[in-house]
């Protein structure tokens, strides 16, 4: 299990998520979002990030969580990720951005296959700093899955 | 690789040389007595050999030397530029390309391939030697009458007539008569001028070219008359001696194409100057704006508006200038297909005449690059499946030689490229049978030609099985369609059985920037490419409340189906009281799009959609508006198809009810 050295932690529906700080490009206040009619819920909108058009994704949808309305603390985390082998800039919605933390010395466990509300393979690992639960999502798999769903939808249509 | 890497420069130059050699060879295939073309090939090969050796491409130089030698023989009239020879040299040209690509290291496999080509080259030359056609300006055994006069000032420039005369003497028996009648009196004689001119009678086995070679350095300015001593006994029309089975019928002389598409683009200097001027003006406008921004006190609104207008004008001009630099004539593209058609003619044993029109039509560089593959496929299809064999053509009462026409023209914001063959045409019944068998259409459904032929582009729709018994090859037509669509283009097919088929590609002039009409649907704003907008009308009050049973509008007597974009996009934002209909048309389809509001025209820079939304269908891209928001660009072609499908479903349902 490869654990990034430093992670950015953020809150989503009361849970704490952590993503590799290396992948993060910037954190924005929620910009104007353009809804794409007919797009999957996971990536339902587009935002303008310094002249580039970036899809806005919502991990809450992937994890079947309650999708909170955008509040004062809501932020968009812009990350660079590989989507099916292509480097892509993607925006992630976070209810609140918490911290950048070093992972050294933090106990990390594999996700237990049972006892969770979420799909276990979407979670790469669970870190436990000071007794908290921090979820390290497998973003690549989540993106790939949602793309697969998008094409399935298209075929069904 | 550094920018001024000489080897890279050589590669570019060699590429151009090879292209011009190829073009000349193909011309020669149709006109094998044209000495100008023979010379052009020879010169090209010669230069390639020389510069190849200079840059360390030894294998290339060695290989090219043999081809050069072969063409030297043709040039001297010792061999004929036969179809076989041209074919071998064409494949040799490909081998040279491979040698250049492989670099200075060489590759044993290539060497072997080269040996094979050289041996067939030797055979071709040997075969054609016997058939050498005497050309009008060739070996005239009797001799020549030459009279020449040096241009004024030539002695001052270092030309000495005496060695020229010596050289002529070396060619054969000479009787030289100096003419002195122009020598002025001593007083007015300029010592550096040559006033003497000469009449020479030369006898022996000398060709006209040999004589011209003597004068090679001064031939451009001098008066030189070379006439055969005795008239030829019979005027031996060389054209008649030509083998009749010319595989490639004489093509139209193709306009000399601009340099081929490479990583570097050649830009006319004046276009660069224009760009520089605009940039200069922009810098001035920008400093004026900066001054306004930093000036204390209230800013004069008028001044600000003036600066804004200036910048608007400049950016529009900058855009046009930059765009113009990206435009290339389609002649570049057509030039590449001459070889393809030549090879196809050989492979299929058909006689194919390639005609091109409108080579000067300019298209964006990217479009040209991405157009090559789909067009190759369409041309292959036309030659393979479209054109009949010579026997079938004769049986059908057509000329033996099949004709393939490539034409390009600009129409509005589109470029139309048509591939026309005069072959057997598409068999509608077989296409229909196949489509019904595959469940693509309902049995007995009424389809227009346009819709029926579009079935060919369906994935898995084997054109080969449907239309001819010949096997298809390479990518399918669905790939062709997709690559044309990725260029935001469409394909139209018209075909008359027994007469021929025309495939017309409709392509946008440029890919990067388009004029759009901005509309609002619900709370979202969408852009519609202006090139497809035909008109805008108000949605009649009667239609506003009507149910979805009948989605037709009567536009001046013509029924136009329409789509309510509010429903398509599933918006629940309250509808505008007065909805508008934007009538869009592409190809033969025409459809109305009902929107809440028409905002206005805007110029948009097209950005592609992310992979999450690329498969959406309704949208071809997105753009950023003046206020920084993102707007989606409607894919009108897809919307038309969707509307027509709707209409058909409605029609079928109506049929069931009745």
Q: What is the pTM of this model?
A: 0.50
Asked if B121 and B67 touch (Cβ cutoff 8 Å), the reply is: yes
Per-residue pLDDT in tens (0 to 9) along chain A, 157 residues: 677 889 999 998 888 999 999 999 999 999 999 988 888 888 889 999 887 889 999 988 888 887 777 888 899 999 998 887 778 899 999 999 999 988 888 888 887 777 677 777 888 888 888 888 899 998 888 888 877 765 554 444 4
Quote ipTM for the complex. Answer: 0.84
Asked if B514 and B606 touch (Cβ cutoff 8 Å), the reply is: yes
Q: Give dist(CA A49, CA A55) in Å, integer.
A: 10
Residues A34, B569: C-beta atoms closer than 8 Å: no
Report the chain A residue with the minimal C-alpha distance to residue B621: A53
pLDDT of res. A155: 45
Shortest distance, CA B614 to any CA of chain A (angstroms): 9
Q: Give dist(CA B229, CA B233) in Å, integer.
A: 12
- Using DSSP bridges, classify how beta strands B223-228 and B144-149 pair: parallel, antiparallel or unpaired: antiparallel
Residue pLDDT, tens place only, B30-62: 777 777 888 888 888 888 887 787 777 878 888
> How many Cβ atoms are within 10 Å of B628's Cβ, its own excluded?
12
Mean pLDDT of chain B: 77
Q: Give dist(CA B362, CA B331) in Å, integer.
A: 9
Nearest by CB: A88 against B610, B628, B631: B610
Q: What are phi and psi of B640, to 5 degrees?
A: -65, -45
Residue pLDDT, tens place only, B74-107: 877 777 778 888 888 888 888 888 888 877 666 7
In this model, does residue B424 exceed pLDDT 80? Answer: yes
Pinpoint the alpha helices (H) of B180-268.
Answer: 208-214, 238-241
DSSP designation for B295: -
Shortest distance, CA B510 to any CA of chain A (angstroms): 20
Cβ-proximal residues to A96 (8 Å cutoff; 6+ apart), any chain: A10, A11, A73, A74, A75
> How many Cβ atoms are within 10 Å of B444's Cβ, its own excluded?
7
Mean pLDDT of B127-144: 52
pLDDT of res. A154: 46
* Confidence band for B493, pLDDT divided at 50, 70 and 90: confident
Q: Give dist(CA A124, CA B652) in Å, integer.
A: 52
Q: What are phi and psi of B372, to 5 degrees?
A: -60, -50
In this model, does residue B634 exceed pLDDT 50? Answer: yes
* Confidence band for B631, pLDDT divided at 50, 70 and 90: very high
Residues B613, A55: C-beta atoms closer than 8 Å: yes
Angle in degrees, 0-180, between the axes of helices B108-130 and B58-75, rounded to the nearest 10: 10
Q: Give dist(CA B41, CA B29) in Å, integer.
A: 12
Cβ-proximal residues to B251 (8 Å cutoff; 6+ apart), any chain: B26, B27, B30, B338, B353, B354, B355
pLDDT of res. A46: 92
In the β-sheet with A96-102, what is the strand arrangement from edge to edge? Answer: A96-102, A6-12, A15-20, A134-137, A123-127, A108-109
Comparing C-alpha atoms, which of B255, B253, B276, B257 is closest to residue B266? Answer: B257
Percent of residues, chain B, with pLDDT higher than 90: 5
Residue pLDDT, tens place only, B217-242: 777 777 777 777 764 444 444 433 33
pLDDT of res. B253: 40
Cβ neighbours of A48 in B, within 8 Å: 624, 628-630
In this model, does residue B247 exceed pLDDT 60? Answer: no
Q: Residue B462 in 3-state DSSP? A: coil
Residues A88, B622: C-beta atoms closer than 8 Å: no
Pinpoint the alpha helices (H) of B103-149.
Answer: 108-130
pLDDT of res. A27: 94
Region of residue B498 (phi > 0: left; psi between -120 and 50: alpha; otherwise: beta) = left
Q: Residue B176 in 3-state DSSP? A: strand
Q: Give dist(CA B69, CA B66) in Å, integer.
A: 5
Residue pLDDT, tens place only, B379-391: 888 888 888 888 8
Nearest by CB: B524 against A34, A48, A150: A34
Residue pLDDT, tens place only, B312-328: 888 888 887 887 788 88
Among A29, A31, A35, A37, the residue to mutate for chain B (most B Cβ within 10 A): A37
Residues B630, A84: C-beta atoms closer than 8 Å: no
Residue pLDDT, tens place only, B139-155: 445 677 788 887 777 77
Cβ-proximal residues to B122 (8 Å cutoff; 6+ apart), any chain: none
Q: Give dist(CA B348, CA B389) in Å, integer.
A: 8
Percent of residues, chain B, with pLDDT higher than 70: 84
Asked if B242 and B208 touch (Cβ cutoff 8 Å), the reply is: no
Scan residues 93-122 of A and list those with Cβ closer than 8 Å to B: none
Q: Give dist(CA B296, CA B109) in Å, integer.
A: 76
pLDDT of res. B196: 82
Residues B629, A34: C-beta atoms closer than 8 Å: yes
Comparing C-alpha atoms, which of B552, B478, B477, B565 is closest to residue B525? Answer: B565
The structure tokens 């019904």 sit at: B436
Give me the long-range contacts of B67-72 (CB less than 8 A, separation at least 24).
B67/B92, B67/B121, B68/B42, B70/B121, B70/B124, B70/B125, B71/B38, B71/B41, B71/B42, B71/B45, B72/B42
Residue pLDDT, tens place only, B536-572: 998 887 776 655 556 788 888 888 888 888 888 888 8
Chain B CB within 8 Å of residue A39 CB = yes
pLDDT of res. A17: 92
Cα-trace Rg, chain A: 15
Cβ neighbours of B610 in A, within 8 Å: 43, 46, 53-55, 88, 90
Chain B CB within 8 Å of residue A55 CB = yes
Residues B630, A32: C-beta atoms closer than 8 Å: yes
Residues B629, A54: C-beta atoms closer than 8 Å: no
Q: Give dist(CA A70, CA A62) in Å, integer.
A: 17
Among B522, B524, B612, the residue to mutate for chain A (most A Cβ within 10 A): B612
For B261, B314, B516, the CA distances from B284, given in Å and listed in that order, are 35, 11, 30
Asked if B343 and B247 touch (Cβ cutoff 8 Å), the reply is: no
């Amino acid at each position: 299990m490869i654990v990034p050295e430093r992670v950015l932690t953020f809150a989503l529906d009361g849970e704490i998520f952590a993503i590799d700080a290396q992948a993060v490009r910037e954190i924005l206040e929620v910009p104007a979002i353009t809804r794409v009619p007919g797009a999957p819920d996971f990536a339902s909108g587009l935002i303008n990030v310094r002249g580039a058009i970036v899809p806005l994704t919502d991990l809450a949808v992937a994890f079947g969580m309650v999708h909170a309305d955008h509040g004062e603390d809501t932020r968009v985390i812009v990350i660079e990720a590989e989507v099916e082998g292509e480097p892509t800039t993607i925006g992630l919605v976070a209810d609140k951005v918490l911290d950048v933390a070093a992972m050294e010395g933090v106990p990390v466990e594999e996700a237990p296959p049972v006892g969770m509300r979420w799909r276990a393979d979407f979670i790469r690992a669970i870190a436990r700093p000071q007794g908290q639960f921090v979820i390290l999502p497998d973003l690549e798999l989540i993106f790939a899955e949602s793309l697969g769903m998008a094409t399935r939808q298209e075929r069904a249509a | 690789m550094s920018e001024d890497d000489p080897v890279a420069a050589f590669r570019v130059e060699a590429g151009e040389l090879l292209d011009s050699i190829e073009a000349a060879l193909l011309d020669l295939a149709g006109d094998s007595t044209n000495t100008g073309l023979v010379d052009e090939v020879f010169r090209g090969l010669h230069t390639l050999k020389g510069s190849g050796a200079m840059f360390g491409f030894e294998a290339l130089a060695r290989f090219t030397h043999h081809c050069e030698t072969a063409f030297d023989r043709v040039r001297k009239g010792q061999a004929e530029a036969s179809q076989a020879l041209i074919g071998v040299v064409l494949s040799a040209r490909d081998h040279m390309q491979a040698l250049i690509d492989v670099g200075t290291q060489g590759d044993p496999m290539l060497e072997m391939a080269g040996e094979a080509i050289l041996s067939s080259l030797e055979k071709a030359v040997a075969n054609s030697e016997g058939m050498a056609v005497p050309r009008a300006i060739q070996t005239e055994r009797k001799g020549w009458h030459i009279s020449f006069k040096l241009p004024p000032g030539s002695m001052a420039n270092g030309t000495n007539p005496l060695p020229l005369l010596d050289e002529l003497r070396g060619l054969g028996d000479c009787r030289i008569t100096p003419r002195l009648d122009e020598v002025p009196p001593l007083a007015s004689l300029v010592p550096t001028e040559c006033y003497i001119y000469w009449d020479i009678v030369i006898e022996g086995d000398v060709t006209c070219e040999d004589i011209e070679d003597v004068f090679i350095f001064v031939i451009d300015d001098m008066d030189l008359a070379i006439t055969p001593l005795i008239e030829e006994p019979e005027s031996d029309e060389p054209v008649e001696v030509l083998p009749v089975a010319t595989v490639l019928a004489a093509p139209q002389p193709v306009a000399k194409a601009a340099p081929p598409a490479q990583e570097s683009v050649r830009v006319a200097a004046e276009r660069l100057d224009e760009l520089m001027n605009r940039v200069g003006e922009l810098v001035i406008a920008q400093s004026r704006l900066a001054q306004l921004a930093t000036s204390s006190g209230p800013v004069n609104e008028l001044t600000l508006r003036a600066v804004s207008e200036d910048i608007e004008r400049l950016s529009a001009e900058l855009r046009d200038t930059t765009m113009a630099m990206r435009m290339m004539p389609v002649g570049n593209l057509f030039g590449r297909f001459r070889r393809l058609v030549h090879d196809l003619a050989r492979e299929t044993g058909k006689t194919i005449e390639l005609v091109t029109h409108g080579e000067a039509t300019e298209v964006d560089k990217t479009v040209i690059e991405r157009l090559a593959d789909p067009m190759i496929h369409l041309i292959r299809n036309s030659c393979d499946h479209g054109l009949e064999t010579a026997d079938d053509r004769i049986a059908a009462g057509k000329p033996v030689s099949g004709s393939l026409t490539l034409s390009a023209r600009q129409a509005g914001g589109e470029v139309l490229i048509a591939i026309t063959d005069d072959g057997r045409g598409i068999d509608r019944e077989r296409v229909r049978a196949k489509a019904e068998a595959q469940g693509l259409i309902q049995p007995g459904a009424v389809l227009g030609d346009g819709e029926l032929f579009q079935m060919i582009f369906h994935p898995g729709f084997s054109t080969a099985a449907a239309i001819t018994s010949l096997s298809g090859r390479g990518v399918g037509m669905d790939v062709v369609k997709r690559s044309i669509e990725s260029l935001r283009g469409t394909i139209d097919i018209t075909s008359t059985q027994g007469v021929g088929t025309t495939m017309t590609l409709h392509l946008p002039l440029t890919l990067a920037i388009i004029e759009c009409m901005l509309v609002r649907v619900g709370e979202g704003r969408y852009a519609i490419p202006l090139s497809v907008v035909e008109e805008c009308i108000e949605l009649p009050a009667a239609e506003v409340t009507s149910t979805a049973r009948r989605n037709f509008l009567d536009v001046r007597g013509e029924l136009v189906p329409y789509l309510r974009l509010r429903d398509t996009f599933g918006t629940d934002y309250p509808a505008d009281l007065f909805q508008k209909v934007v009538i869009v048309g592409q190809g033969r389809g025409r459809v109305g799009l009902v929107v809440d509001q028409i905002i206005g025209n805007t110029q948009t820079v097209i950005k592609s959609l992310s992979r999450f939304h690329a498969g959406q269908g309704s949208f071809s891209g997105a753009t950023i508006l003046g206020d920084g928001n993102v707007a989606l660009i409607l894919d009108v072609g897809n919307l038309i198809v969707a509307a027509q499908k709707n209409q058909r479903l409605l029609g079928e349902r109506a049929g069931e009810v009745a």
